[in-house]
Chain A
Amino acid sequence: MSTRTISILVENHSGTLSRIAGLFSSRGYNISSLTVGETEDASVSRMTIVVAGDDSVIEQVVKQLNRLIDVIKVIDFDNDPIIERELILIRVDSGKGSRHEVVELADIFGASVVHVSASSITLQLASTCDKIDEFIWLIKPFGVKELIRTGKIAMAQPKK
Chain B
Amino acid sequence: MRKNGAEILIDALIRENVDIIFGYPGGQAIPIFNVLYDTKEIKVVLTRHEQGAAHAAEGYARATGKVGVCLATSGPGATNLVTGIADAYLDSTPLVAITGQVATPYLGTDAFQEVDIVGITRPVTKHNILVKNIKDFPFLIKEAFYIARTGRPGPVLIDIPADISKGFLDDYEYPAEISLRSYRPTTVGHVKQIEKAAALIKTAARPLVFAGGGVISADAHQELFELATKLNAPVTLSLMGLGAFPGEHPLFIGMPGMHGSKTANSALQEADVIISVGVRFDDRVTGHVGAFAPKAKIIHLDIDPATISKIVRVDIPVVGDAKNIVAALVKIVAPRPADAWNDVVNKWKGDTLFAYKNSDKIIKPQFVIEQIYELTKDKDAIITTEVGQTQMWCMQYYKYARPRTCISSGGLGTMGFGLPAAMGASLGRPGALVIDIAGDGSIQMNIQELATISINKIPVKVAIINNEYLGMVRQWQDMFWNKRRSSTCLRGGTLCVECTGSGHCKKPYVPDFVRLAESYDIPGLRATKASEVVPVLQEGLNKEGPVVMEFMVAPEENVYPIVPVGKSLDQAMEEL
Contact = CB atoms under 8 A, between A and B. Distances in A.
Interface of A: 10-11, 14-15, 18-19, 22, 26, 59-60, 63-64, 66-67, 69-72
Interface string B215-235: 000000000000000000000
17 contacts: A14-B130, A15-B122, A15-B130, A22-B122, A59-B309, A63-B306, A63-B308, A63-B310, A66-B305, A66-B306, A67-B305, A69-B126, A69-B127, A70-B182, A71-B182, A72-B181, A72-B182
B304 to A, nearest CB: 7
B181 A60 contact: no
Contacts of A10: 182
B147 interface: yes
A11 B306 contact: no
B310 A69 contact: no
Contact of A18 (B119, B181, B182): B119
Pairs of residues from A and B, 7 with the lowest C-beta to C-beta distance, nearest first: A63-B306, A69-B127, A72-B182, A69-B183, A67-B306, A26-B123, A64-B306
Interface of B: 118-119, 122-123, 126-127, 130, 147, 180-183, 304-306, 308-310
A70 B126 CA distance: 11
Given A15-B130, A63-B306, A69 B147 contact: yes
Contact of A69 (B182, B306, B308): B182
A22 B304 contact: no
Interface centre among B180, B183, B309 (most CB of A within 10 A): B183
A89 to B, nearest CB: 31
Contacts of A66: 305-306
Nearest to A15: B118
A51 to B, nearest CB: 16
Contacts of B119: 18
A75 to B, nearest CB: 14
B211 to A, nearest CB: 22
A60 B118 CA distance: 24
A18 B121 CA distance: 12
A156 B119 CA distance: 33
A68 to B, nearest CB: 8
Contacts of B118: 15
B313 to A, nearest CB: 9
A15 B132 CA distance: 12
Contacts of A67: 304-306
Nearest to B307: A63
Given A11-B182, A59-B309, 13 more contacts: A10-B182, A14-B130, A19-B122, A22-B122, A60-B306, A63-B310, A66-B305, A67-B305, A67-B306, A69-B147, A69-B182, A69-B183, A70-B182
Nearest to B180: A69
Contacts of B147: 69
B302 to A, nearest CB: 11
Contacts of A60: 306, 310
Contacts of B305: 63, 66-67
Nearest to B304: A67
Contact of B123 (A11, A22, A69, A72): A22
Nearest to A16: B182
Nearest to B147: A69
B446 to A, nearest CB: 27
Nearest to A43: B181
Nearest to B130: A15
A13 to B, nearest CB: 9
Contacts of A11: 182
A66 to B, nearest CB: 7
Given A70-B182, A71-B182, A18 B122 contact: yes
Contacts of B180: 69
A64 B122 CA distance: 14
B289 to A, nearest CB: 13
Nearest to A60: B310
Contacts of B126: 69
A19 B126 CA distance: 11
B409 to A, nearest CB: 21
Contacts of B122: 15, 18-19, 22
Contacts of A18: 119, 122
B50 to A, nearest CB: 23
A59 B67 CA distance: 31
Interface centre among A15, A19, A22, A67 (most CB of B within 10 A): A67
Contacts of A72: 181-182
Contacts of A64: 306
A45 B126 CA distance: 21
